[in-house]
Amino acid sequence: MRGASFFVVVAVAAGACGVGGPARVIGTERLRADLTDAVVEDYGVEALDIRCPDEVEAAEGRSFTCDVSVNKGSLTYAVTQTDADGSLSFSATDAVVHADAPLDPIVAHYNDQVGKNVDVFCGQGEIEVWVVAPGESFVCRVVDRQGVTDGAVVTVTDLQGEFTFEIRPGDVSGAEY
């Protein structure tokens, strides 16, 4: 499955006493482990760092976010408590696009529409994946055999990492390669 993940985690404990009795809190250690697994399973990349609150008060409908560092981006997960017992569900709010995903479609465009052979660079090497919210873009560099360079603006269209692209002749502003 690519895109949104959905797991349930239960880890409730009594917290400090307050008015009306002790507050129940949810520890997030298990959530961090589930997020690590989800990033590998959904995107095939390693979670380098996970930042979640250490614990949150148990209350149905309460939500918070966790940020997961991958390569050169940070993937945000929305986490929601699904019941008063501390069950959690989570889903990614950004898409992950592997740096080599746009290569074939852009090369095919040049071959079919322009009649040129090109090399395309979308950050391969240093950038394994792009973490992009739907509607946002990144720029790839397109170089033909004569050394003419164009930009290909890749716009992510959904959480599953689908994208469109637009060629900008001679414009590589914003390109990382």
Domain ranges of the chain: 12-93, 97-168
57, 24 Cβ separation under 8 angstroms: yes
**30-89: pLDDT as tens digits:** 899 999 999 999 998 999 999 999 888 888 999 999 999 998 789 999 999 998 888 899
Say what the pLDDT of residue 69 is. 94
**107-135: pLDDT as tens digits:** 999 998 878 899 999 876 778 889 999 99
DSSP structural state of residue 175: B
Report how far residue 140's alpha carbon sits from residue 154's, in angstroms, rounded to the nearest whole number: 7
Report how far residue 97's alpha carbon sits from residue 57's, in angstroms, rounded to the nearest whole number: 34
Between 16 and 66, the more confident residue is: 66
Say what the pLDDT of residue 126 is. 76
Mean pLDDT calculated for residue range 88-104: 93
Between 76 and 174, the more confident residue is: 76
**pTM more than 0.85:** no
Between 162 and 21, the more confident residue is: 162
pLDDT band at 22 (very low <50, low <70, confident <90, very high): low
Report how far residue 177's alpha carbon sits from residue 161's, in angstroms, rounded to the nearest whole number: 20
Task: Give the three-state DSSP class for 159.
Answer: coil
Q: What is the Cβ-side half-sphere exposure of residue 75, based on CA atoms within 13 angstroms? A: 33
Say what the pLDDT of residue 14 is. 39
For the chain, strand residue ranges (E) read: 12-18, 21-27, 49-51, 55-57, 63-70, 73-81, 88-92, 95-98, 118-121, 129-132, 137-144, 149-156, 163-168
